[in-house]
Structure 1
Amino acid sequence: MKTFTTLILDVRDDIAVITLNDVQRRNALSRRMVGDMFDAIESSQAQGARALVIAANGPTFCAGANIDDLRDGWMEQADPRTDPALLFRRLAEEKRIVVAAVQGPAVGGGFELTLACDLVIAEEGAWFALPEVTRGVIPNTGLALLQHIVGTRQALELVLTGKRLPAPEALQRGLVNEVAEKGASLGRAFELAKSIVANAPPGALAAAKGHLHAHAGYDWGRVVRSVSDVPRAEWQEGLDAFTEKRATDFDRLWQASQRGQQA
């Protein structure tokens, strides 16, 4: 077992379990956590792990991006080692199978983290949401990955409304593979990963996964760049409202946009 600042890596029976462990911050995807994830993935490979399981401690799977990092200009100062979109790309392009075990809310970047995994086991009480647009930002990775799973109209519904999907509805929409009993998601994800690597060789698994994603045709360059397409004033208002625990005031931004169109 190897402990990082924000997570724990445990390789057993040829399966690497990466457990998000920043419970106080609801396992938010901070710069440090993203960097730790990259390091844990590389360490698991060095230890010969044949598959990855991503789980979390505490009541929340992942609450999305760390608000302090966002306010510090994270979206405008991309660092490849701390960019969540590049982490999600790393997982999507990982040759080994990646299974998510979701035991609580997977919000924003937490939802996107599950989209970057190959298979998802969610337990009773887990739920998923992409509230970014309601905060003046966009789920850039979600926009690329989501529609290939649920279709364009459902993807737009989830992105534009930010609605919550409880685990049974996420199963119905194809966003999770199984709903497990409360407390059982990690065990089921581990069993699933172990059964896959026990019954198929590494080259076939890597080829099947790699070609599936290649056929989808993700434009990762666009994914990384797209986060900067939202005007700063809009995401600044969203972050300020979140920090100040108040409703957003986007009406003035609508008015300014309309004045600009009329000029």
Structure 2
Amino acid sequence: MNDPTTGPGVIDVDIDRDVAVLTLRRPDKLNALDVATRVQLAQALREHGTGETARGIVLTGEGRAFSAGQDLRRTPTTEAEFLEEFASFHDITRAILETRVPVVAAVNGIAVGGASEITLCCDARIGTPATVYYQPENGRGITISNASSVLLRRLVGNHAMRIVLGSPRIGAEEALRIGLIDEVVEPEALVDRAIETVHAWTPESNTTALHLTLLRPLAEEVEAAFAREDVAAKASWESGVFTAGVAGFWTTKETTS
């Protein structure tokens, strides 16, 4: 079913075998995330994360991309808008970590920047041979968000430094090896496998909600990461690095297209 609270054509919510499958449906824009979409996503996560309507959540994208991350066609023009951008990314992390059900990222294709960071707070990440992680922020004047400054290290340890500073494209095989994803399956099996994972983690008479609280990062640690990331983001804005980086991205894109 299409959930009317998320708006048509942006985020679809389907209940499949008691699991809420949230699909980013903006394939013509590689499922890029503007502020409105991020707000809708956080709302959908909270609505279906209580355990009352679904036993788990699967987050995926339509088409060849999981998501291209921040929609650079809608860049902020004021500091207030810029901070709102970051706040809306952070709130998706909060929404996921507050759920009482497992959240599984079904990473169907390339996951860029903030979108790749969203998957880091999910309880599992399942990919396909087409899965690619790419964090280009360092060369675009943008700083990382979503508490990824702690979540990325939590998953991949010292690999976090080269992933952020070097911005390599990390394919499925390497992502599996270093811990960015937990499993690789064929594309046609991706969502089914994610749903199966939710079912396996929510047996009858379970204590899953309690274990999620014990195994997920502490809220205090996440909020402290948000605060540090906000300081870094503000510095990038005030220095002009952010504006110059985004402008340089579009210049490069126009000359190579």
Relative to the length of structure 2, the TM-score reads 0.86
In the TM superposition, residue 233 of structure 1 has moved relative to its aligned partner by 1.2
The residue that corresponds to 2:159 in the other structure is 154
Cα-to-partner distance string for 1:197-216 (whole Å, 9 max, x where unaligned):
12562xx2222222221299
Which of the residues 208, 217, 221 maps onto 1:217?
221
In the TM superposition, residue 124 of structure 1 has moved relative to its aligned partner by 0.8
Distance 1:224 1:205 in 2: 30
1:89 matches 2:94: yes
The residue that corresponds to 2:31 in the other structure is 27
1:40 matches 2:47: no
State the SS of the aligned residue for 2:240.
Answer: helix
* Cα distance change on mapping 1:80 and 1:166 into 2, 3 Å: closer
The residue that corresponds to 1:239 in the other structure is 246
The residue that corresponds to 1:135 in the other structure is 140
* Cα distance change on mapping 1:74 and 1:94 into 2, 3 Å: farther
State the SS of the aligned residue for 1:244.
Answer: helix
Structural mapping, 1:1-263, within 5 Å:
1-3=1-3, 4-5=7-8, 6-45=10-49, 48-73=53-78, 76-79=81-84, 83-141=88-146, 142-151=148-157, 153-198=158-203, 201=206, 204-212=207-215, 213-214=217-218, 217-218=221-222, 219-223=224-228, 225-226=230-231, 227-230=233-236, 231-245=238-252
* Cα distance change on mapping 1:102 and 1:192 into 2, 3 Å: same
- Tell me the matched-pair count: 244
In the TM superposition, residue 243 of structure 1 has moved relative to its aligned partner by 1.8
Question: Which protein shows a greater Rg?
Answer: 1
The residue that corresponds to 1:255 in the other structure is none
In the TM superposition, residue 32 of structure 1 has moved relative to its aligned partner by 1.7
Letter in 1 for 2:250: T
Cα-to-partner distance string for 1:14-43 (whole Å, 9 max, x where unaligned):
210000001111111111211211232244
Instruction: Indicate conservation of the 8 Å contact 1:76/1:228, yes or no.
Output: no
Instruction: Indicate conservation of the 8 Å contact 2:125/2:181, yes or no.
Output: yes
Letter in 2 for 1:2: N
Please report the RMSD computed on the Cα atoms of aligned residues, expressed in angstroms: 2.4
Q: Percent identity?
A: 27
* Cα distance change on mapping 1:30 and 1:215 into 2, 3 Å: closer
Distance 1:103 1:74 in 2: 34
* Cα distance change on mapping 1:84 and 1:74 into 2, 3 Å: farther
Instruction: Indicate conservation of the 8 Å contact 1:16/1:49, yes or no.
Output: yes
In the TM superposition, residue 232 of structure 1 has moved relative to its aligned partner by 3.9
- Structure 1: segments with no counterpart, 5+ residues: 248-263
Cα-to-partner distance string for 1:116-138 (whole Å, 9 max, x where unaligned):
21101101111101110111111
Letter in 1 for 2:69: G
- Structure 2: segments with no counterpart, 5+ residues: none
Distance 1:200 1:131 in 2: 44
Distance 1:81 1:221 in 2: 9
